[in-house]
Amino acid sequence: MIAGAALLPPLLILPTSGADEPRDRRLQDAFAQAAREFHVPRSVLMGVSYMQSRWDSHPGAPSVAGGFGPMHLVDTDRPPASKADPQLPGGGRTGPRTGEAGPPGARPPDPSDGHAVQPADLRHAARLIRAPAGRLRTDAAANVRGGAALLADTQRQLGKPLSADPADWWEAVAHFPGTRDITSAVTYADDVFALIRRGAHRTTAEGQEVTLPATPGLQPHHRTARPQGPPRPGNVECPADLSCDWLGAPYEEIDDSAYGNHDLADRPRDQAIEYIVIHDTEAELPSMFQTVQDPTESSWHYSIRSRDGHVTQHVRTKDEAWHSGSKFVNARSIGIEHEGFLTRPGTWYTERMYRASARLVRYLARKYGIPVDRQHIFGHDNVPPPTADTIPDMHDDPGPFWDWRHYFDLLGAPLRATAGPDSDMVTILPDFAANKPVFTGCGESGTPCPPHGSSAVRLYTEPDEDAPLIQDPGRKPDGEDSTVDVNDLGSRVSTGQTFAVAERRGDWTAIWYLGRKAWFKNPQKHPTAVGAKGRMVTPKPGLDEIPVYGRALPEAEAYPEGVPEQPESPLPYSFPAGQRYVTQSGVGSSYTARSSITDAPDPVVWGRERYYEIQFGHRLAYVRASDVDVVGSTGAAGPPGDKEHRPATR
């Protein structure tokens, strides 16, 4: 459980490139030069840039919103990312924009002046610095100059001096992203000033080392009070500092044998909410809004817009959305869609979207007592397949380019070493910007993807990068080799996942993975995993092998009359004696027998059988408690905690 209502500023992120490597500080110098040229405090310019892009340049590559460079300047004359690239899925920008119901700041922008409505406009910035717009898309220094010119121009428009004191710039910062939503603008400016107070240090995806010195005690001289704003719809469930609205998913009958597109429930009274599933849309958000309003399509609880982090809720959290590909997980989870494309790292997940998502997840985790770890907050690509025949159909988003390390920093639960380097458990923790494994298939099949920071670490059958990759017999039952395709999860692990160590040899570490030993490169100088402590499960003595499941179903005698018993359907994997897999919690067995439209939720079937959730491969899985012993890693002992998942009336 996480304390505190406000989103924590990012932790200091120290460079991991190594002291023996040259430091590239050209971007640092560009901030200093632009600040002097346009009389903007350097800390303000750098704080805004961090909030826009975390100082990454993405040279020439637009975000989903059409933003470019370290200042995320939006080129309104260019087509959206999915239109610019015909290989991208998703449609154009159709339908209304939500969440823009009011101007930010004490002095609202005047739409008639054509300036203050969107001060982060790339072409306006280009005119201010008298440079071609194309240069601001590809040249980080020109992009920073454009951002500084926009801040200075906004300050003048507000009738304020170009002061050297950062405390005088709060209103200009609130105007910078161009949002008309007051809550969003106030939160944005507060986040920038919190960052300036704390300071930050980061090596960017392009290898630039950037430092923002801390300015403790900095408070803006004029700050707009947190607005009350218009009342939200009564069904919106969001923290107060997040801009949210409602676009409901239909619960209606399609014909005599079908209904859509979610199930009524009474969570957490009838079923605890234990998981939050992170998705990406693989389409632009307006087309997703059309999808979620179609009763023949799937549903999810929340959508988050890329360009500004605006949140739209579609299904009440008490109800069960159809989002994960597993009815068992749906019954216990909240699904959040993020506007983006896993196969297009260039259409980057924006910092504002990460922060809005983290605010929402912190709020939901507190509300429902969800542990903030990678076995409870996970990607769609980590959802366990409910049965063997569903494995090929499970989804792969948000993919290897979602920055789990940064995301957990924003959640206030940073991923880090919890044991020494010789521990018998490890947490996968590569440096995102420096970790750039080869992927193919972002465009045409077999074509290399652009190099990009990644949360993924690749697994081999032997401690050698020329050895074959680990295979997933569930995804490829005919024995085909795993590949480096961006959608092939069969031979990789992800940041924050924790595994039992099977062996170490020099710079290589082996873990137990899908029933076999899997190797990854883990050099001491540039580690891709760190020591962890916790609890693992292993087959009880006398059992040569135990089954692994994709859901935790009740025993046969638990099903009441009229509710068909569900087949257990073990997954096609081996968990032999002697292997260990990490568990964070026990799980009660249950089944939600919802198969028709009703006026009230159908009852949940509860069993006496207990299970443990384990990190078995890239995806999670379940094993019966009666089949395993729980063992502690070095310095840990006893079984993991287990909430009571039954209704309060039982």
CATH number of residue 475's parent domain:
3.40.80.10
What is the CATH classification number for the domain harbouring 75? 1.10.530
**435 preceded by cis ω (within 30°)?**
no
Q: Among 115, 16, 162, 132, which residue's Cα sits nearest to residue 68? A: 132
Overall domain count for the chain = 2
Q: Tell me, what's the pLDDT at 65?
A: 87
Q: Which of 212, 233, 255 is a domain's end point?
A: 212
pLDDT digits (tens, 9 = 90+) for 131-185: 999 999 999 999 999 999 999 999 999 999 999 999 999 999 999 998 888 889 9
Domain check: are 89 and 200 in the same one? yes
Residue 255 pLDDT exceeds 50: yes
Residue 569 pLDDT exceeds 80: yes
Task: Give the percent of the chain with pLDDT over 90.
Answer: 76
Q: Do the domain assignments include residue 94?
A: yes
- Residue type for position 203: T
Domain check: are 161 and 79 in the same one? yes
Longest CA span, the chain: 80
For residue 472, CA distances in Å to 378, 437, 479, 483, 516 come to: 20, 19, 8, 11, 10
- End-to-end C-alpha distance for the chain, whole angstroms: 25
Q: Do the domain assignments include residue 238?
A: no
Residue 311 pLDDT exceeds 70: yes
Q: Do the domain assignments include residue 553?
A: no
Domain check: are 166 and 285 in the same one? no
For residue 554, CA distances in Å to 538, 610, 644 come to: 22, 9, 15
Q: Tell me, what's the pLDDT at 568?
A: 86
Q: Do the domain assignments include residue 603?
A: no
Domain check: are 307 and 452 in the same one? yes
Residue with tokens 């499960």: 537
Question: Helix and strand tally (H, E) in the chain?
Answer: 12, 28
| 212 and 204 Cβ atoms separated by less than 8 Å | no
pLDDT digits (tens, 9 = 90+) for 180-199: 888 899 999 999 999 999 99
Which position has the higher pLDDT, 351 or 109? 351
Q: What range defines the domain where residue 202 resides?
A: 26-212
Domain check: are 375 and 435 in the same one? yes
For residue 432, CA distances in Å to 384, 389, 451 come to: 25, 34, 12
Domain check: are 306 and 194 in the same one? no
Q: Distance between alpha carbon 48 and the CA centroid of its chain, in Å?
A: 22
Confidence of residue 477 (pLDDT cuts 50, 70, 90): confident
Mean pLDDT of 374-394: 96
Domain check: are 477 and 360 in the same one? yes
Q: Tell me, what's the pLDDT at 180?
A: 82
Domain check: are 204 and 271 in the same one? no
In whole angstroms, give the CA distance from residue 5 to residue 151.
29
Which position has the higher pLDDT, 388 or 94? 388
Residue with tokens 């040259």: 22
Q: Do the domain assignments include residue 617?
A: no
In whole angstroms, give the CA distance from residue 80 to residue 90.
10
Confidence of residue 79 (pLDDT cuts 50, 70, 90): low
- Helical spans, DSSP H, in 10-139: 26-38, 42-53, 81-84, 122-129, 133-138
Instruction: Return the exposure string of 333-365: e unless at least 16 CB atoms fall within 10 Å of the residue's CB, then b.
Output: bbbbbbbbbbbbbbbbbbbbbbbbbbbbbbbbb
Which phi-psi region, left, alpha or beta, contains residue 358 (left: φ > 0; alpha: ψ -120 to 50)?
Answer: alpha
The three-state secondary structure class of 246 is strand
Q: Is 19 exposed, middle or buried (CB count within 10 Å of its CB: 0-12, 13-18, 19+)?
A: exposed
Q: Tell me, what's the pLDDT at 334?
A: 98
| 633 and 423 Cβ atoms separated by less than 8 Å | yes
Q: Among 495, 557, 533, 512, which residue's Cα sits nearest to residue 633? A: 533
Task: Give the percent of the chain with pLDDT over 70.
Answer: 86
- What average pLDDT does the chain have? 88
Domain check: are 195 and 254 in the same one? no
- Helical spans, DSSP H, in 492-591: none
Contacts of 282 (CB under 8 A, 6+ apart): 89, 90, 340, 341, 342, 397
Domain check: are 198 and 315 in the same one? no
pLDDT digits (tens, 9 = 90+) for 591-648: 998 778 888 888 899 999 999 999 999 999 999 999 999 999 875 544 455 544 444 3
Domain check: are 179 and 256 in the same one? no
| 555 and 446 Cβ atoms separated by less than 8 Å | no
Q: Do the domain assignments include residue 124?
A: yes
Q: Do the domain assignments include residue 149?
A: yes
Q: Which of 535, 570, 593 is a domain's end point?
A: 535
The three-state secondary structure class of 309 is coil
Which position has the higher pLDDT, 637 or 550? 550
Q: Among 136, 127, 119, which residue's Cα sits nearest to residue 68? A: 136
Residue 95 pLDDT exceeds 80: no
